[in-house]
Chain A
Amino acid sequence: MTLYELTVIVIAVIALLILRKFDKKILRNFVIVFIGILLLQYFTQALWLTVGLAKWSYLYQGVNWIITLGRTTMVIVSMAIIDFFFPKFSERARFRLYFIPILITGLIGEAISSSRGTIQYHPKLLESFSGITIFGSVPIEAIYYIPVFMLLAISFARYWQIILDNNQKTKKNDVRKKGGSK
């Protein structure tokens, strides 16, 4: 196991252990975000090349679950930070704020991954970019690419969290009603 893969896994485990203290549903929420990002990665796989990671971490062609895990940790930690510091804010306000830490951590992650050549952009994608780079080899377009990408992933995650929470509430109410009628 290479250092990169191991680091991503360890960071994800540590984040989950810490966040479990604040959110009992963190594992479920983590899985939902993971699925959302995986769907996006699968769909846009032709645009990126994930190179040099261990064979076992590839799910399908260039789709790599270590990258998914890294991005999921980034999203879940960013959301937790905002939820922790701004609990009184409306969901809509917090939704907007999520993108500040996501953009910062996303750019850091992208800078690390692209500088070591783990994530490479397809030449066709680079053709549509301006050619200006930041933090080494990260295209400046990442400033809008990361939030747009994550906007879809977070919407997917929050929508499913709400559906599953409501489902649970409905089941609890049903149990209560049945219990009451006996």
Chain B
Amino acid sequence: MGVGVLLYELGIIITTIVIWFFMTRKGYKNVTRKFIILFLGVLLFEIISEPMWLNTGFDSWAYIYGDVTWVLTLGWVNAFMLAILAVDYFYRETSEKKKFFLYLLFISALVIPVEAIMISAGLRGYAEFLLETMRSGIVFPVLYLPVESIYAVPIFCSLILSFYKYVNYLFDKK
């Protein structure tokens, strides 16, 4: 698992670099700032919900606080950024209100399968007391994820996305 995890970690970091270069080359404004805001948004969320998750098996250099790993935070940032880029490209004429829900749909489509793979690989797990709140007993077929963990994704993504959009707005408004 050691080499596999290292490749996974490097894959996430390389993906971030590729997206950053792509956005810079394509003329997107304030690319680094956007990445930092998104990273902070995800990190804040991970810190307040840290006791709920078990992120195990990552290399020691990847951890920053308890079970919080900056590599996984970067992975979330990648998913958000890819979803935002895709929606902004394919639905450029759509209103911001509608685009918000499309962002959530795209992020969920990217994140949920990765979450399922990480759980089956033992890199990610839910704390016992969190599992106790997932009482329906319904498991999503194919992915083998509790249904509660699937509808939790758009819920917390909506908060991170609003944070990202609003803080960027504050900077742009200066």
Contact = CB atoms under 8 A, between A and B. Distances in A.
Interface residues of A, number: 37
**Interface secondary structure of B, over-half rule:** helix
B41 to A, nearest CB: 8
A102 B162 CA distance: 19
Interface stretch (B21-29, B48-56, B105-113): B48-56
Interface in A130-178: 145, 148-149, 151-153, 155-156, 158-160, 162-164, 166-167, 170
A62 B162 CA distance: 25
Main secondary structure of the interface of A (DSSP, over half): helix
| 5 cross-chain pairs, A with B, having the tightest CB-CB distances, nearest first | A156-B162, A155-B163, A159-B162, A155-B166, A159-B166
B121 interface: no
A34 to B, nearest CB: 14
Interface residues of B, number: 36
Nearest to B168: A159
Contact of A44 (B49, B127, B174): B49
B164 to A, nearest CB: 8
Contacts of B155: 39, 42-43
A40 B127 contact: no
Interface of B: 41, 44-45, 47-52, 66, 95-97, 100, 127, 129-130, 132-133, 135, 152, 155-156, 158-160, 162-163, 165-167, 169-171, 173-174
Nearest to B127: A124
B36 to A, nearest CB: 15
Interface of A: 36, 39-40, 42-47, 61-62, 90-92, 95, 122, 124-125, 127-128, 145, 148-149, 151-153, 155-156, 158-160, 162-164, 166-167, 170
